[in-house]
Amino acid sequence: MGIPVSVICLFVAPVSALLFGYFFLLKRKPQWMHWPMILSCAVVGVAAASIAAQVYSGHIVDVSPFKWMPLGSWSISFGVRLDGLSAMMLCLVSLVGGLIHVYAGGYMENDPAFGRFFLAFHLFYLSMIGLVVANNYVQMYLFWEMVGLSSYLLIGFWYQKASARRAALQAFFTNRIGDIGFFLALLILMNVYPVAQTRFSALFPLLGQGSPAISYVGWFLFLAAIAKSAQFPLYFWLPDAMEGPTPVSALMHAATMVTAGIFLMARSWPLISLVPHLPNTIAAVGALTAVFSGIIAATRKDLKRILAYSTVSHLGIMAFGLGLGEVSSAVFHLFTHGFFKAALFLCAGNIAHALHKPTASVDETGGLLKKIPVTAVFFVVAAFSLSGIWPFAGFYSKDAILGAAFDRGGWASVAGFAIAFLSAFYIFRMLFLAFLGPRKEQNPPEHPHEAGPMMNVPLFFIVLGALGVGWFGAQFYHLVSSGWLGASPMVKIPGFDWSSFTRSTSMAALGILAAYLWTMQWPSFDWVWRKKIPKVEKGFDADFGVKPLVGALTLFFEELSYLLGILWDKKTWDGWIENTSAWAEDAAKSVSSLASGRLNDSLWWILLGGGVMLLRLLR
C-alpha cells in the first residue's frame, strides 16, 4: 500500500507552489509568480513521466491511503489509481499544461493581475491532475468541481468586461447542470452498491448485465460529460469561454477542462458500455455535435471563436469514437488533439499578441505569413494535423475513428465524411484568411511583431507534438490499455489503412480546396454571402436558435425566481402574515366595541351568559 514518491510529488508540488505564491509572492512580487508554478510543472512533468514509464511496464498503482468521510461502514476515501488512462492523461496535462504555463509567462507579462492569473491557472492544472488520478467517483467529483471553479476564475479573469463575467457565469452554470448528472450518478451508485464500491477497481468487476439502476448511472454520467465536454446541446458555454486570456483557452481546450468529460466517459466505459442504447446515443450526440459546430466554425470571424467551435467539433468526434466503442482511438484523439489544438490556440494567441489585442477577427488579419512567419509555420503544421493529413498526428487518431465510422456504415459514415470535410474546410479557411492575402475587405495591422522566445519555444515543442505524436500509436495503445478495467479488452488502435486513408484524406483535401476557393479564389465570397443572405448569417450567429433558447431559459429562471421570491414570498405570503396585525386590529376594535360602557348592556350580557349556562343543561 505504499504510495510512490512520484504520486506525492503530483500533489505536493502544485499545492506548495500555490501556497507559496499566495502567501509570499502575491503581495510583494507578483511578477515572479510564474516561477514557482513552472517549477512545479517541471516536477509534475518528471513525476508524470516516471509514472507513465512504470505503468507502461505494467505496474498499476491503486491505493486509498486516506479516509475522507469516514463513518463506519459508510466511508469515502481519497486515493489514487495510476493505470493507462490516468498515466496518459497525466502526460498530456503535464506536458501540454506545463508548456502553456511557460507560454503564459510570456503572454501575460504585462497584465496587471499577473499574480492572480498564475494562481488560478495553476489551480486549474492541479485540479485536472487530481481528476485524472482519482480512484473513485466521489474524489473524481471533487476535482471535477474544482476544474469548474478554476475555469470560472479564468474565464472571468478580465472581470472588468461584462462579457467576460457573463461568460464565466455561463460556463460555471452549464457545468453545474452537468454536475447534477454526476451527483445523481453518485447517489444512485451508492444506493446500489456498498459505498466503498465507488472505487473503480471495486465497482467495475461487480457490474452485472445492465441493471436498471446502473443504466441510470450511465445516463447521468453521460449528462455530466455532455456539459463538461461541451456536447450538444450544452456546448454553448465553450465558445463564450473565449473571454479568458488565450493561454487559458489553450489549456482549457487542449489539456484540462473539456477533456475531463471525455476522460470520464472513457473511465466509465466498462459501465457505460453495459447500458442499452447509451453507446449509440453517445455516438449520435458526438456526431451531431461535430457536424453542427463544424458548420458554425466555418462561418465565424473571430479567430479564437473558430478554434472554439473546432474544439467542440473535435470533442464531438471523440464522443463519436467512444460511442462506436473505440475507446483507445477516442483517447488517442484526445491526446493528439491536445497538442494540435494547443498549438493552434497559442498561434492565435501569437496573432492577438502581435496585434496587441486580446482577440483578433479575420477582418483585422490577412497576409500575416510574411510578417510573423514562425507563427505561420507553426499554424500550418497544426492545421494539417487537425485536418487529418498524413503524416501529422491528427491523421492517426482521427483516421482511426473515421475508420470505425466507415465500418459501421450508414449515418456514421456520412457523419464521418462530413467531419473530415468540415474540419479541413474551417481550419484552412482560417489559415488562408489569416496568413494569405490580404483581401481588400481586411485591414491587417501595419507592424505586427513576432512573439518572444518565452512564447515561441514552448509553442515549438507543442507543434512538435502536433506533428509527431501520431507515430506512436502502438506504444500509446500499450500504455492506455494497461490496467484497463473493462470486461472486454480495449479495441486496438488500427494502424495505417489505405482504404480509410483514401477516403478521409480525399475528403480533407476536398475541404482544403473548398476553403481555398471560398476565401481566395472567388473574390471575397466569405464576405459576400453575409451581405446577400443576412438571415442565414443571423441563423449562424444564433447557433441555429440555441443561443436564443438559452437566453429564454435564463429569463424564465429569472422570472420564476422573481415570481417566487418577491411576488409570492414577500408580497403575497408574507403580506398575508403581516396582514394578521391588521386583522387583529379589526378584531380588537369590534371586540372592544362590545364594551359599550352602558350598564344595561352589561346586564343583558349577564342574562345571556346565564341563559347559555342553563341551555347547556338541556342537552
Partner 1 sequence: MNPWVWLISAALFVSGLCAVILRKQLLLMLFGLEIMISAALIPLVAQASAFQDSNGLAAALIILCVAAAEAVVGLSLILHLRKNKTLPDSDALMELKG
Partner 2 sequence: MILTLFWAFPIIGALFTLFAPAFNARARWISLICAVMELYLVLQAGTGFWSGHLASLSEPGKFLTYGISYSFSMDGLSWALCLLNAFLTVIALLSSWKQDLSAGFWASFLFLEGAVMGVFLAQDLFFFYIFWEAMLIPMFFIIGLWGSENRKHAAIKFFLFTFFGSLFLLLGILALVVFHHQTTGVWSWDMNILRAPNHGLYAILAFAAFVVGFGVKIPLVPIHTWLPDAHTEAPAAGSIILAGVLLKVGVYGFLRVLLPAFPDWGMKALPWLGGLAAINVIYGALSAMAQMDLKRLIAYSSIAHLGFCVLGIASRTAQGLAGGSLQLINHGLTTGALFLMVGFLYERTHKRGLADFGDLVSQAPLLTFFFGVTVFASIGLPGLNGFVGEFMSLSGMAKVSLPIAVVGVFGVTIAAFYLLPAFQAVFLGERKPASVSPKVFDLDLREQALLWLLIIPMFVIGLHPGPLLNIVGPAIGKLIL
Partner 3 sequence: MTALLLRIAPLGSGISLFGGVLGVACVGLFKKINVGLVRVLGLLSLALAAVFVFAHPATGSISTLLQADAITKAWCAVFYVGALPFLIAGTWEDEVAVLLLLGSLLGMTFLAFSANLLMLFISLELLSLPVYLLVALTPAKGKPSWEAAIKYFFAGSLSAAFFLLGLACHYSATGGFLFAGNGSFLDQVAFSLMAIAALFKIGAVPWHFWLPDVYEASEPMLSGFLSTSVKAAGVFLLMRLGQYSQGSFISLLPAIGALTMLVAAFAALNQTRLQRLLAYSSLGHAGVLVLGVGAWLLLGANEKNALPIFFYLFSYVFMSNGAFFFLELTGVSEWKDLRGLGKTRPVLAFCFAALALSLAGIPPTAGFLAKFLIFWQAFKAGLYVPLIAASFATLAALVYYLRIVREMYLEEGVSTSKIAAGTGAVSLIVSLSAAYSAIVGFLPWILSAFQRVLG
- Tell me the β-bridge partners of 302: 361
CA 425 – CA 421 distance, rounded (Å): 6
Shortest separation between residue 93's beta carbon and partner 2, angstroms:
19
Give the Cα-Cα-Cα angle 226, 387, 294 (nearest 5 degrees): 40
Stretch that binds partner 3, among 261-269, 396-404, 437-445, 602-610 (CB under 8 A): 602-610
Beta carbons of 456 and 107 less than 8 angstroms apart: no
Q: Binding pattern to partner 3, positions 541-580, x when CB under 8 A? A: ----------------------------------------
Residues in the chain: 619
Contacts of 280 (CB under 8 A, 6+ apart): 323
Q: Which of 428, 296, 283, 444 is nearest to 357 (CA)?
A: 444
Q: Which of 25, 60, 210, 224 is nearest to 133 (CA)?
A: 60
Stretch that binds partner 3, among 22-30, 368-376, 408-416, 589-597 (CB under 8 A): 589-597
Q: How many residues bind partner 3 (CB under 8 A)?
A: 25
Give the residue with the Cβ less far from partner 2, 72 or 410: 72
SS (HEC) of 177-201: HHHHHHHHHHHHHHHHCCHHHHEHH
Shortest separation between residue 612's beta carbon and partner 3, angstroms:
8
163 interacts with partner 3 by CB under 8 A:
no
Partner from partner 2, partner 1, partner 3, none contacting 614, C-beta within 5 to 8 A by type? partner 3
Using the Cα atoms of residue 283, residue 285, residue 526 and residue 302 in order, give the sign of their dihedral.
negative
Stretch that binds partner 3, among 45-53, 88-96, 565-573, 597-605 (CB under 8 A): 597-605
3-class SS of residue 68? strand
589 interacts with partner 3 by CB under 8 A:
yes
Which residues of the chain form contacts with partner 1 (CB under 8 A)?
592-593, 595-600, 603-604, 607
Shortest separation between residue 191's beta carbon and partner 2, angstroms:
5
Of 21-80, binders to partner 3 (CB under 8 A) are none
Give the residue with the Cβ less far from partner 1, 488 or 600: 600
Shortest separation between residue 604's beta carbon and partner 3, angstroms:
9
Stretch that binds partner 3, among 333-341, 457-465, 510-518, 595-603 (CB under 8 A): 595-603
Partner from partner 1, partner 3, partner 2, none contacting 591, C-beta within 5 to 8 A by type? partner 3
Shortest separation between residue 555's beta carbon and partner 1, angstroms:
55
Give the residue with the Cβ less far from partner 3, 564 or 608: 608
Give the residue with the Cβ less far from partner 1, 544 or 604: 604
Q: Is 12 exposed, middle or buried (0-12, 13-18, 19+ CB in 10 A)?
A: middle
Grid look-up 479567430 returns 303
591 interacts with partner 3 by CB under 8 A:
yes
Beta carbons of 239 and 308 less than 8 angstroms apart: yes
Which residues of the chain form contacts with partner 2 (CB under 8 A)?
67-74, 138, 141-143, 145-146, 149, 152, 156, 159-160, 162, 165, 168-169, 172-173, 176-177, 179-180, 183-184, 186-188, 190-191, 195, 557-558, 560-562, 564-566, 569-570, 573-574, 577-578
Query: Which residue from 162, 577, 582, 613 is in contact with partner 3, where contact means CB under 8 A?
Result: 613
Partner from partner 2, partner 3, partner 1, none contacting 206, C-beta within 5 to 8 A by type? none
Q: Which of 553, 552, 571 is nearest to 562 (CA)?
A: 571
Partner from partner 2, partner 1, partner 3, none contacting 487, C-beta within 5 to 8 A by type? none
Partner from partner 3, partner 2, partner 1, none contacting 561, C-beta within 5 to 8 A by type? partner 2
Q: Which amino acid is at 318?
A: M
How many Cβ atoms are within 10 Å of 358's Cβ, its own excluded?
A: 17
Stretch that binds partner 3, among 22-30, 300-308, 414-422, 596-604 (CB under 8 A): 596-604
Shortest separation between residue 579's beta carbon and partner 3, angstroms:
14
Give the residue with the Cβ less far from partner 3, 110 or 581: 581
What φ, ψ does residue 388 adopt, rounded to 5°?
80, 45
Give the residue with the Cβ less far from partner 1, 8 or 603: 603
Using the Cα atoms of residue 253, residue 259, residue 262 and residue 265 in order, give the sign of their dihedral.
negative
Give the residue with the Cβ less far from partner 1, 162 or 618: 618
Q: Provide long-range contacts, Cβ within 8 A and 24+ apart, for 204-210.
A: 204/270, 204/271, 204/485, 204/486, 204/487, 205/485, 207/270, 207/271, 207/274, 207/487, 209/274, 210/274, 210/275, 210/276
Using the Cα atoms of residue 469, residue 473, residue 475 and residue 481 in order, give the sign of their dihedral.
positive
Shortest separation between residue 606's beta carbon and partner 1, angstroms:
9
Q: Which three cell numbers stand for residue 376?
A: 505561420
Give the residue with the Cβ less far from partner 1, 447 or 598: 598
Shortest separation between residue 105's beta carbon and partner 2, angstroms:
22
Give the residue with the Cβ less far from partner 3, 373 or 609: 609
The helix or strand, by DSSP H or E, that contains position 605, with its residue range, turns out to be: helix 599-618
How many Cβ atoms are within 10 Å of 63's Cβ, its own excluded?
A: 17
Q: Which of 343, 63, 50, 347 is nearest to 200 (CA)?
A: 63
Q: Which amino acid is at 532?
A: K
Shortest separation between residue 598's beta carbon and partner 3, angstroms:
9
- In the complex, which residues of this chain contact partner 3 (CB under 8 A)? 581, 584-585, 587-589, 591-592, 594-595, 597, 599, 601-603, 605-606, 608-610, 612-614, 616-617
